[in-house]
Structure 1
Amino acid sequence: MKQRLSPGPKGERFYDWAAARLPAVAASDGGEPTRQRWMPARRSISKPDEIASHFACAQMDATVADLVQLKGCRWKIEECCQSAKNECGLDQ
C-alpha cells in the first residue's frame, strides 16, 4: 500500500512510501513472533526515479505510517549522539 507521508523532524518533506513485510526469523524472535522485519521504501515526488529503502523491525501489525514515524525518530537519535560527542570533545 502506497501513502504520501512526511517523516517530520526536518520539516515538511513529503515522499511516496510503501513497505514490504519480510519473513519472520524464528531464531531471533524466539517462539511465536511478536515483531516483524520490514523494508520500507520512499520515492521522491519530484524525482520519481530516486528510491531509498532501509530495514526496520516493528510490531506485526505496523502500518506504513508507523514505519515512517520510526524513520523520522532516527534524526533525533543522531542529533543526540552528535551533541554528546561535541560535549565530550570527541568531535575533533
Structure 2
Amino acid sequence: MGTSGKIDNCQAGMFLAYASGAGRALIDRELYLPTVWTEDPARRADARIGEEVRFATKPAFARAMLERAVAAKVPFRWVTGDEVYGQDPVLRGWLVDNGLSFVLAIAAERRVGPRGQNARTLAAILPDRVWEVRSAGDGAHGLREYAWALVMLPGQVDGFDDALLIRRSLVDGEQAYYLVHTPIDTPLVDIVRAAGARWAIEETFQAAKNEG
C-alpha cells in the first residue's frame, strides 16, 4: 500500500500475492476498513456497507486469505510478510498449527533471544564467520545481494525449527530482522529466497501501474 503524500480519500486494499519461478500474481484481496468507518453508522449507510462487515485487523485478513488458499489447495511452501504480520502471535500460531513455513519481518526491538535479548542485540554479538552473502532474487538493478545470518532459537515443533534471520546491507550496514519457522535443516539459500519473495506484491503493483 502506498501513500498519496497528503490527506485524501482512498481505499486501503490488502492483497495476497503468489510468487513462483514461473511468475507472480495477486490471487486474493480484502478491503481494510478502520474503526472510524466500521463504528460510524452514517458512513456505513452512505457507503452501503453491509451489517455483516465488522472491523478486522490486517493479520486477521491475512489469515482469512491464507485459509482460502489452503482450502483451494493452492500449492505453496512459504508465507512471508512485513512487520504488521510478524508481530502478530495469533497469525504466527495459526501458521505453526497448520504446518506452514514462514519468514515474517519483525522490529529490531522484538525480544527473541534465550536471555530476553532483542533482535538487534543478537545481531550485534554474532561473529563474522556466520554471515553469508546471498542474493534475495533479481531486482530492478540486478541481484539483491545482502549479508545474511541465521540464529536458531530454542524449541522445535513437529520437525520444525524457529530462528531469527538477519539481513545486512552490503552498502550501508542497515539491518532487517525476520522470524523464521521452517522444517529442520532447511538450507539458508531457501530461507533467503523466501524472504526475497516478499517484494512480489510491490513488483506486481508496479507492473499493473505500467499497464495502466
User: How high is the TM-score relative to the length of structure 2?
Assistant: 0.32
Alignment of 1:8-47 (within 5 A): 8-10=137-139, 11-24=142-155, 29=157, 33-47=158-172
The DSSP-based 3-state class of the residue aligned with 1:22 is strand
How far 1:9 moved relative to its partner? 4.4
Where structure 1 has 5 or more consecutive residues not aligned to the other structure, the ranges are 87-92
Aligned residue pairs: how many?
76
Counterpart of 1:4 in structure 2 is: 133
How far 1:56 moved relative to its partner? 1.4
How far 1:80 moved relative to its partner? 9.2
Counterpart of 1:89 in structure 2 is: none
The DSSP-based 3-state class of the residue aligned with 1:70 is helix
Q: RMSD value over aligned CA atoms?
A: 2.4
Letter in 1 for 2:165: P
Where structure 2 has 5 or more consecutive residues not aligned to the other structure, the ranges are 1-129
Greater relative contact order (Cα 8 A, min sep 6): structure 1 or 2? 1
Q: Runs ≥4 in structure 1, deviation > 2 angstroms? A: 73-76, 78-82
Distance, in Å, in 1 between the alignment partners of 2:181 and 2:202 is 21
Q: Percent identity?
A: 28
Would you say the 8 A contact 1:21–1:36 is kept in 2? yes
**Deviation by residue 1:25-70 (Cα, 9 ceiling, x = unmatched):** 5xxx3xxx3111111101111112x111111111110222121011
How far 1:7 moved relative to its partner? 0.7
How far 1:72 moved relative to its partner? 1.8
Note closer, same or farther for the CA distance 1:56–1:9 as it changes in structure 2 (3 Å cut): farther
> More strand per residue: 1 or 2?
2
Would you say the 8 A contact 1:40–1:64 is kept in 2? no
